[in-house]
Amino acid sequence: MRYLPHTRQDIDQMLAVTGHADLNQLFETIPDSAKTKTGLNLPDALSEWDLNAEMEELASQNAACRSYTCLMGAGSYDHHIPAIVPHLISRSEFMTAYTPYQPEVSQGTLQGIYEFQTMITALLGMDIATASHYDGGTALAECALIALRKSKKANKIAVSSLIHPAHRQIMQTYLDPSGYEIVDIPADRNGLTDVAAFKAMEGMAGVAVQSPNFLGNIEDLGSFRACADEKKCLLISSFTEALAHGLLKRPGSFGVDLVAGEGQSLGMAKSFGGPGLGLLAGTKKMMRNLPGRFVGKTTDSNGQRGYVLTLATREQHIRREKAASNICSNNGLNAMTAAVYMAAAGKNGIREIARLNHDKAVYLKNMLVDAGFESVYDSAFFNEFVVKAPAGFADKRRELAEKHNLFAGVPLESYYPDMADHYLFCATETVSRQAMDLLAKEVKS
Amino acid sequence: MTQPGTTGLIFNEPELWDKSREGRCGISMPRSDVPRTDLDPALTGDAPELPQLSELDVVRHFVRLSQWNFSIDAGMYPLGSCTMKYNPKTNEVQAARKGFAAAHPLAGDEFSQGALKLMYELEQLLGEITGFPAVTLQPAAGAHGELTGMLMIHAWHAKQGKQRSKILIPDTAHGTNPASATLCGYQSVNIKSGPDGILEPATVAEAMDEDTAGIMITNPNTLGLFEENIKEVCDIVHAKGGLVYGDGANMNAVMGIIKPGELGIDVLHLNLHKTFSTPHGGGGPGSGPVAVVEELIPFLPVPRVEKENDAYSFITDCPDTIGRMHTFYGHFSVMVKAFAYILSMGGDGLTRASQLAVLNANYIKESLKTTLDLPYDRPCMHECVFTDKTVQEYHISTMDMAKRLLDYGFHPPTVYFPLVVDAAFMVEPTETESKDDIDQFIEAVKAIVKEAASDPDKLKSAPYLPKVTRLDEVTAARKPCLKG
Ligand SMILES: Cc1ncc(COP(=O)(O)O)c(C=O)c1O
């Protein structure tokens, strides 16, 4: 096996040093009764070339093996990835390093993540950002736990029913064993979280709202801030489309306490849903409550600029059962990916891409309405919106996927049972007008 | 012997924003083919203050940064408990295939058969390696796997009608174990390992009661020792109605030798980013699949992958499930890499990998045990733990030796963990290091111990060759500067 360097002679020499007769004897401390009798019943080892063939065969059973038009978002977005992003991120020095526990030989990772933290605070308008989390949903669940732990009395948290359904499910999983309760805030007629319903709620440790929400609509975080202030509870905002912040007002400008979101749009492939990038940001006040790693700037013994992992006294390896979270490995390389993407796009690039996304989505919605879909909400949106499909669209949709490799929207009924025939569409900068026109034409025909 | 560490030209590089010049942009903008439609200005903010750079500015910046990093591809990285083995390049090629990388998670089962099949088969392979009937691939890292497993234990007790309040955790456990237990509302009860560095059944029997949900055991443990009494320990816990959680982060020592599912363990997580060769990426993304016994299958997170008549689908209709742990299905591209690795190795290859990992560790242990203090002088598994006792008389610490190793061109071992050993120096070479490289490492450690006697001051201000010297971590924590 080409990954195993030992020659017969190496093994003999080493066994002579360890004092074992053969390799099996190395396991002398394992009682015989504990050893497996069956060995490993696995397929025979493949050569690199046979592996290529087998993996290509599997990959070819996904529709994504051919170029396709992606009009689906719902937490995973189709964006252009500049060649420099995978190129730089594939460098061995980034990819095959461990967590930067020895800062003297990890300054590349450390400076890169420090720059990532800085750019995320700029994107979200927040004071601080962590070095990453697993995904948007787990980051949001951690925020809910922070709010609940900080509150002396309340054991409930108000959660918008228009937060990504999977994110709400993760919150439920995380909160269940502690006996914390999630109280749903319903949606109003405009496809927005009903702030009046939240106003009527008592005894909440916090309130969580996603903007743009799962239906694509842009929420009024300001009114939730005002309401949360009256109730003296924390305001958590979340998002699944990081690029929206190229255009929208930043969550920080509304005085949000904690922000959790998904950063996959910042240079990462969809990869069947993961790994993406959990983003977590907060106000300065939240610094010691946030989970996971931070990189901080400092100096070395010669006074040179340098970076280290810092504020570790919140973390599991120091605090063990009293830690703020159990997170250890995070999604570091994807944070670095986002750093490269944001550095390459820059202030003007991210703005222009965000505007293009909005333009395309508005065009698509107009085309669909023209083709017989019903506009469901009048609320402003970024690059996703809901429409009600004409009869027979489910079959048409399948045909479009099979014949034209065009994936038209995400059906909403499985998430919201009263939304039969409703679809969540997404258009990004990758979608051509031609593809959108084709969709409209096919629907009309 | 020539050591790998040397000097060479590297570059200074400022922070990104110091290179920013108004008007630069490093990406190609797609042509607009639709009308511009402005969003309501009341909803629009200013463009975020990201740096403005050309493409080459960005390339140089990150290439220069990368050159300040140590990596496995450049040298030996014997971090104990981290299994820094070689990350095969073909794995990256497989994960980058368009059919995988471009797949949308909501494309629908019938358009995602390749991905589903891969996940299903990987679950089977990991089940065979660990000896369990079912596996979930959803957890995003080892600690996330622990939380998943502990949530299942919690849900199982709830289903029995009586929740319990405590969990036993040996003093050798990784910090994530007690932290994961806390998230499930369990109070950690710390139990001491015996004089041989392993758990004694009597200690477990004394602590185990009917208000204790179970035990979290790492086997081989973090001293690199096999928990010889594992079966008795499991029996004791089961007899009191508890469950056994296995931290399988150290599975690299025992593939094909033991199967945790045959020993009485009920739930086990694996770290694909350790045992199964996927890269650590400077801190992730990893993947922490969880394997379970029959009785716990109903509690696995959803969605689960199912196979029926050669067709694969996701199912969510599982009434006892703990729920969802990840927005979609976990770190799919990491799964592709681990799958490629297992197929490349085969059963014999994986067993051989464990044998050689254990050979390498024992060889280092025997070669250095007269140079460094070895608190548990017993045959080890994939790693061995030394202390700084032999150099304390020169006022040299584990940290000083670790820093000096950098000058010799080696990444230091894990230091100051596990906590049961004072000033631990924990070496895990892995199977992919050759005898020649290991001999060089041994020589380096011996040379450093000599230096400790002859020139202790030199060690105290090491390292000398890296881009920066020792960093002021105290000020970093007292006056945090977390952004530029
Ligand atoms: C023994 C042990 N358990 C658990 C973990 C946690 O794994 P992860 O960092 O992937 O969350 C580690 C990793 O450092 C470990 O060494």
d(CA B180, CA A175): 13
- pLDDT given at position A239: 98
Nearest ligand 1 atom, CA B146: 4
**Final residue belonging to a domain, choices B318, B343, B368:** B343
Same domain, B357 and B301: no
Taking only the tens place, the pLDDT of each residue in A57-68 is: 999 999 999 999
* Closest by CA position to A290, among listed A142, A442, A127, A176: A142
Chain A CB contacts of B463 below 8 Å: 104-105
- Number of structural domains (chain B) is 2
In a domain, B50, yes or no: no
Same domain, B420 and B337: no
Q: Which of A11, A13, A42, A299 to mutate to test the interface with B (most CBs of B within 10 A)?
A: A42
Q: Is the pLDDT of residue B1 over 80?
A: no
Q: Are residues B293 and B385 in the same domain?
A: no
Identify which of B102, B114, B433 has the shortest CB distance to residue A269: B102
Q: Are residues B229 and B378 in the same domain?
A: no
How does residue A275 score in pLDDT terms, banded at 50, 70 and 90?
very high
The tens digit of pLDDT for each residue in A8-61 reads 999 999 999 999 999 999 999 999 999 999 999 999 999 999 999 999 999 999
A25 in contact with B at a CB cutoff of 8 Å? no
pLDDT of amino acid B474: 96
Tokens linked to A302: 């010669």
Question: Can you say how many angstroms the Cα of residue A405 is from the centroid of all Cα atoms in its chain?
Answer: 26
- B247 CB within 6 A, ligand 1: yes
Same domain, B147 and B284: yes
Q: Report the chain B residue with the minimal C-alpha distance to residue A405.
A: B111
Please check whether residue B36 lies inside any domain of the structure.
no
When CB atoms are compared, the residue of B327, B343, B433 closest to A170 is B327
In the reported structure, the alpha carbon of residue A327 is separated from the centroid of ligand 1 by a whole-number distance in angstroms of: 9
In angstroms, the separation between the Cα of residue B79 and the nearest Cα of chain A is: 9
- Tell me, in angstroms, the distance from the centre of ligand 1 to residue B414's CA: 13
Does residue B25 fall inside a structural domain?
no
- Determine the Cα–Cα distance for residues B119 and B49; give it in Å rounded to an integer: 41
Alpha carbon distance A99, B283 (integer Å): 4
Are A326 and B352 inside 8 Å of each other by CB?
Answer: no
Q: What is the pLDDT of residue B352?
A: 98
Range with the lowest mean pLDDT among A305-319, B117-131, B260-274, B316-330? A305-319
Asked whether residue B138 falls in the same domain as residue B271, the answer is: yes
pLDDT at A289 (0 to 100): 95
Rounded to an integer, the average pLDDT of B43-63 is 98
Q: Could you tell me the CATH number of the domain that includes residue B394?
A: 3.90.1150.10
Residues B386 and B435 in one domain: yes
Q: List chain B residues with CB under 8 Å of A300.
A: 468-472
* B125 contact A CB<8A: yes
What's the gap in Å between A19 CA and the centre of ligand 1?
31
- On the question of a cis peptide bond just before residue A275, with omega within 30 degrees of 0, the verdict is yes
Give B 95-124 residues with CB within 8 A of chain A: 95-108, 111-115, 117-118
Instruction: Report whether residue B125 contacts ligand 1, using a CB cutoff of 6 Å.
Output: no
Kindly state whether residues B105 and B237 are assigned to the same domain. yes
State which of B327, B343, B359 marks the end of a domain.
B343
pLDDT of B478 reads 95
User: B252-288: per-residue pLDDT in tens?
Assistant: 999 999 999 999 999 999 999 999 999 999 999 999 9
Write the pLDDT tens digit of every residue in A401-445: 999 999 999 999 999 999 999 999 999 999 999 999 999 999 998
Question: A318 falls in which pLDDT band (50, 70, 90)?
Answer: confident
- The CATH number assigned to the domain holding B284 equals 3.40.640.10
Contacts of A298 in chain B (CB under 8 A): 471-473, 475-476, 481
What does the block give as tokens for A348? Answer: 């003007």
Domain that holds residue B323: 91-343
Residue A294 has phi, psi (to 5 degrees) of -130, 145
Q: Note whether B37 contacts A92, CB cutoff 8 Å.
A: no
Please give the average per-residue pLDDT across A312-327, as a whole number: 89
Q: CA-CA distance, A427 to B430, in Å (whole number)? A: 47
Q: Does the Cβ of B169 fall within 6 Å of ligand 1? A: no
Mean of pLDDT over chain A: 97
Bin A179: left if φ > 0, else alpha if -120 < ψ < 50, else beta: left
Q: Is B143 in the pocket of ligand 1 (CB under 6 A)?
A: yes
Nearest CA in chain A to B366: A18
Residues 126-145 of chain A whose Cβ lies under 8 A from any Cβ of chain B: 128-129, 131-132, 134-138, 145
Predicted structure pTM score: 0.98
Which domain-ending residue is among B287, B311, B343? B343
Query: Are B52 and A346 a contacting pair at CB < 8 A?
Result: yes
Q: Rounded CA gap, B287 and B284, in Å?
A: 9
Q: Which of B3, B320, B303, B10 is nearest to B137 (CA)?
A: B303
The answer to whether A374 faces chain B, any CB pair under 8 Å, is no
Looking at the domain assignment, is residue B59 inside a domain? no
Tokens coding B25: 């942009």
- What does B194-217 look like in DSSP terms, one character per residue? -TTSS--HHHHHHH--TTEEEEEE
Let me know whether B339 and B361 are in one domain: no
Span B285-307, mean pLDDT? 98
User: For the stretch B102-140, what's the b/e string if a residue is b when 16 or more beta carbons lie within 10 angstroms of its beta carbon?
Assistant: bbbbbbbeebbbbbbbbbbbbbebbbbbbbbebbbbbbb
Query: With bands split at pLDDT 50, 70 and 90, how would you rate the model's confidence at A324?
Result: confident
Query: How many other CB atoms are there within 10 angstroms of residue B35's CB atom?
Result: 10
Those of residues 177-206 in B touching chain A at CB distance below 8 A are 178-185, 187-188
| Residue B67: inside a domain | no
In the prediction, which pLDDT does B2 show? 85
Q: Please state the rounded mean pLDDT for residues A366-392.
A: 97
In this predicted structure, what is the pLDDT of residue B107? 97
**Residues ≥6 apart with Cβ < 8 Å to B151:** A173, A176, A177, B184, B299, B322
Residue in chain A lying closest to B232 (CA): A34
Dist CA A36 CA B263 (whole Å): 9
* pLDDT of B174: 94
> Counting atoms of ligand 1 from 1, which one is nearest the CA of B250?
1
Is residue B447 less than 8 Å (CB to CB) from chain A?
no
**Measured in whole angstroms, how far is the alpha carbon of residue A344 from the centre of its chain?**
20
B18 belongs to a structural domain: no
B196 and B212 in a single domain? The answer is yes
Burial class (CB in 10 A: 0-12, 13-18, 19+), B428: buried
Concatenated DSSP letters for B283-347? T------EEE-GGGGGGS-S-EEEEETTEEEEE---TT----SSSSSS-HHHHHHHHHHHHHHHH
How many CB atoms are closer than 10 A to CB A53?
Answer: 10
> In sequence order, which residues have a C-beta less than 8 Å from that of residue B96 and are 6 or more positions away?
A86
Helices (H) and strands (E) in chain A — how many of each?
13, 15
* A329 Cβ below 6 A of ligand 1: yes
Mean pLDDT score of chain B: 97
B217 Cβ closer than 6 Å to some ligand 1 atom: no
Residue A315, pLDDT above cutoff 90:
no
Express each pLDDT in A90-105 by its tens digit.
999 999 999 999 999 9
| Closest residue of chain A to B73, computed from CA coordinates | A92
Same domain, B252 and B386: no
Whether residue B141 has its Cβ less than 6 Å from ligand 1 = yes
Distance separating alpha carbons of residues B261 and B267, to the nearest angstrom = 8
CA-closest candidate to residue A185, choices A173, A174, A175, A195: A195
Q: A247, A192, A185, A252: which is closest to A216 by C-alpha?
A: A192
- The span from the CA of B172 to the CA of B199, in Å, is 10
Q: State pLDDT tens for residues A47-90.
A: 999 999 999 999 999 999 999 999 999 999 999 999 999 999 99
Mutate to test the pocket of ligand 1, among B176, B180, B428 (most ligand atoms within 8 A of CB): B176
Strand ranges in B111-170 using DSSP code E only, listed in sequence order: 134-136, 166-170
pLDDT digits (tens, 9 = 90+) for B149-183: 999 999 999 999 999 999 999 999 999 999 999 99
- pLDDT of A201 strictly over 80: yes
Helix (H) or strand (E) segment spanning residue B62: helix B55-66
User: Region B16-35: what's the mean pLDDT?
Assistant: 97
Please give the pLDDT value at position A112: 98
Give residue for tokens 């830690």. A323
Condensed to tens digits (0 to 9), the pLDDT of residues A205-234 reads 999 999 999 999 999 999 999 999 999 999
B318 and B270, same domain (yes or no) = yes
Among left, alpha and beta (phi > 0; psi -120 to 50; other), residue A18 is: alpha
pLDDT over 90 percentage in chain A: 97
Pairing mode, if any, of strands B212-218 and B166-170?
parallel
Helices A48-59 and B113-130, packing angle to 10 deg: 130
DSSP label at residue A187: B
| Partner B contacted by A122 (CB < 8 A) | yes
Query: Domains of chain A, with CATH numbers?
Result: 65-81+347-444 (3.90.1150.10), 84-342 (3.40.640.10)
